[in-house]
A = this chain, B = another copy of it.
Amino acid sequence: MEYPRPLAQLITQLQKLPTIGQKTAQRLAFFMLKLPETETAQIAAAIAEVKQLLSYCNVCGAITDANPCHICTNLRRDRQVICVVEESDDLWAIERTNGYKGLYHVLGGVLSPLDGIGPDELRIDSLFQRLNDVKEIILATNLTTEGQATALYLTQHLENFDITVSRIAHGIPFGGDLEYIDEVTLAKALEGRREV
């Protein structure tokens, strides 16, 4: 004899999520069984709605509940700077620093020829269509082979425009210990050294 069908179903569904194996799925399912029905209904609704209510901003490509998104329509932001990121979570991470007041452009991934992802699969054309009045493009793709290749590709294609292209700094993170830092980061930190 196995679990009642709806419970077995829930355990199976929860195991689709990352870092949730069978034991964790069981524990979560048992916990939900003990919650009041209003609580489980809220959790279920939140999961269902996250895909129903969110879409991609037509301008910058960020995941948003308004279109164009709140950043693209915010007139107090600096429209002369666009920060290019891979995904919406990168955008939110930068927003949390409260240190950037320009606009964004979300590529939706990185160039990765082996996975069949070329410039046409990313939101690169729509970036080039936004360059009127733009003075600076900040490339904030990640420090991976693909992220670097994507930054290089964009740099080359932006050369023809009268725009400053910059790359976010890579180096030793706050609290990082030289001894334990990987060599790519360390090389970047040396390369990006600044006179004091």
User: Which residues of A are at the interface with B, using a C-beta cutoff of 8 A?
Assistant: 1, 3-7, 9-10, 12-14, 16-19, 24, 26-33, 35, 37, 39-54, 63-66, 69-71, 88-89, 92, 95
Contacts and interface: CB of A to CB of B under 8 A. Distances in A.
A92 B170 CA distance: 52
A171 to B, nearest CB: 24
B64 A37 contact: no
Contacts of A37: 51-52
30 contacts: A1-B71, A6-B49, A6-B54, A6-B65, A7-B63, A10-B46, A10-B49, A13-B42, A14-B43, A16-B35, A16-B39, A17-B43, A18-B28, A19-B24, A26-B89, A29-B50, A30-B89, A32-B47, A32-B50, A33-B51, A33-B54, A33-B63, A33-B88, A37-B51, A37-B52, A40-B48, A41-B48, A43-B47, A44-B45, A45-B48
A89 B9 CA distance: 16
Nearest to A57: B4
A14 B24 CA distance: 14
Number of copies: 2
- Most-contacted residue by chain B among A47, A64, A71, A95 (CB, 10 A): A47
Contacts of A42: 13
Contact of A51 (B35, B51, B70, B92): B35
Main secondary structure of the interface of A (DSSP, over half): helix
Contacts of A7: 50, 54, 63
The 4 closest A-B pairs by CB, nearest first: A44-B48, A13-B46, A4-B65, A44-B47
A35 B14 CA distance: 13
Contact of A18 (B1, B17, B27, B43): B27
